[in-house]
Amino acid sequence: MSNRRCPRCQTAYAAPARFCVKDGSLLVETDQPEAPKAPAPGLRASSRDSADASGGPGLREPIPSSLASLTGQVLDNRYHITRKLGEGGMSYVYQAQDIDTGQAVAVKILIPRLSRDPASVERLRREATIATRLNHPNVCPILRLGETSDRLLYLVMPFLEGEPLSEHETRRGPFTASEGIPLLVQMCQGLGHAHDLQIVHRDLKPENIMLVPDSDIPTGFRAVVMDFGLAKERRAGPDVVKLTATGIVLGTPEFMSPEQIRGKPLDGRSDIYALAVLAFELFTGQLPFTGKSAQETMIARLRGAPAQLREVKGELPAKLEAVINKALAVNPAERYGSMEEMAHALESSVSGGVLGRLFRR
């Protein structure tokens, strides 16, 4: 039986649907046989999976019996597995302790078909090389790409005690401008750092943002951009472009920029578009593009007909609506030219203060 329903039009959906395709509203749980389990700290819990090369969600497949539960084992004589955090469409995630450093880490073991496909292995090695260059408090880097005795690839990342933004939104509802803008500026900071290194995220969404408790930040949370698994260097050569075209994942449909939908070359302005979609959801609880079907919703993005922020939530500032509209422009040239520009605009939409006060690298 379907267990999710749109609170506005009452249309029923089966999991893992998260938004109503008719009006963009965030679905609510109903007729649930049991209460959903809370996500484990540090795990990216997602019902919006990245699309694979065929356009469908990543397919889950059984992990070898020897790796069904690694708790208590030591991986590669270095990572002592302490508990299983969960699993997603393309990986199994464990918390571990790095024996050499004592650091708590998250170990993401990738499904077998990724490890068997030479093109996927090459893409993942490139991903790990790129992500190790990231060094910013608002970005989660990859520390190591390794291989198990069963020839499965795994990624090691810092373990973050926190909650995915998607789960936080679902639990507490839409944010006010004063609550949400500081988090968005932090995301701009992290993504701006990546763009400085010629790295485009390409799969920005609430599931890929971790909120880490931080008493030194007025909002109480530090926003950390996760999963640079779709990261692509802006100045990629023909071999890399070809590799990406045959890769496993291409992005998440609800947040793809028009140029990403069309398969065009991407730069940091594609992330700016995705961040605007994320911001619209953050403040309203729904997506800026709607339609009678997922296809109609995608066509609406290509035509550039977003809902207006203040039509959904009238108390939000008009300047904030203007910022999001600019970032949602179909033509990348009409968007902000950098994450720094977008951060300045977001801050000015509520504070009117000195530009750049919140933007630090």
52 is catalytic: no
Q: What percent of the chain has pLDDT over 70?
A: 74
Residue 235 has pLDDT above 70, yes or no: no
- Grouping H, G, I as helix, E, B as strand and the rest as coil, residue 357 is coil
Residue 83 has pLDDT above 90, yes or no: yes
Tell me the pTM: 0.77
Question: In the structure, what pLDDT confidence band is assigned to residue 80 with cuts at 50, 70 and 90?
Answer: very high
Tell me what pLDDT residue 22 has. Answer: 64
Sequence spans of domains, the chain: 1-36, 62-158, 163-348
Just give the CATH number of 163-348.
Answer: 1.10.510.10
Spot the catalytic one: 49, 98, 203, 227: 203
Of 162 and 47, more confident: 162
For the ranges 106-120, 215-229, 277-291, the maximum mean pLDDT occurs at 277-291
Question: In the structure, what pLDDT confidence band is assigned to residue 124 with cuts at 50, 70 and 90?
Answer: confident
Residue 147 has pLDDT above 70, yes or no: yes
User: Per residue in 7-26, pLDDT tens?
Assistant: 667 677 776 566 776 666 67
Question: In the structure, what pLDDT confidence band is assigned to residue 110 with cuts at 50, 70 and 90?
Answer: confident
Residues 6 or more apart from 345 whose CB is under 8 A from it? 323, 326, 336
Of 219 and 359, more confident: 219
Q: What whole-number distance in Å separates Cα of residue 208 and Cα of residue 220?
A: 19
Q: Average pLDDT, whole number, for the chain? A: 79
Q: What architecture does CATH give domain 62-158?
A: 2-Layer Sandwich (3.30)
| DSSP string over 26-74 | BPEE-S-SSPPPPPPTT----SSPPEETTSSBPPP-PPPGGGS--TT-E
Q: What does the pLDDT average to over 289-318?
A: 87
Q: What does the pLDDT average to over 292-307?
A: 83
Residues 300-303: contacts with CB under 8 Å, at least 24 apart: 301/256, 301/258, 301/261, 301/330, 302/258, 302/261, 302/262, 302/330, 303/330
Element (DSSP H or E) covering residue 102:
none
Of 181 and 21, more confident: 181
Tell me what pLDDT residue 290 has. Answer: 81
Residue 57 has pLDDT above 50, yes or no: no
Q: What does the pLDDT average to over 39-48?
A: 41
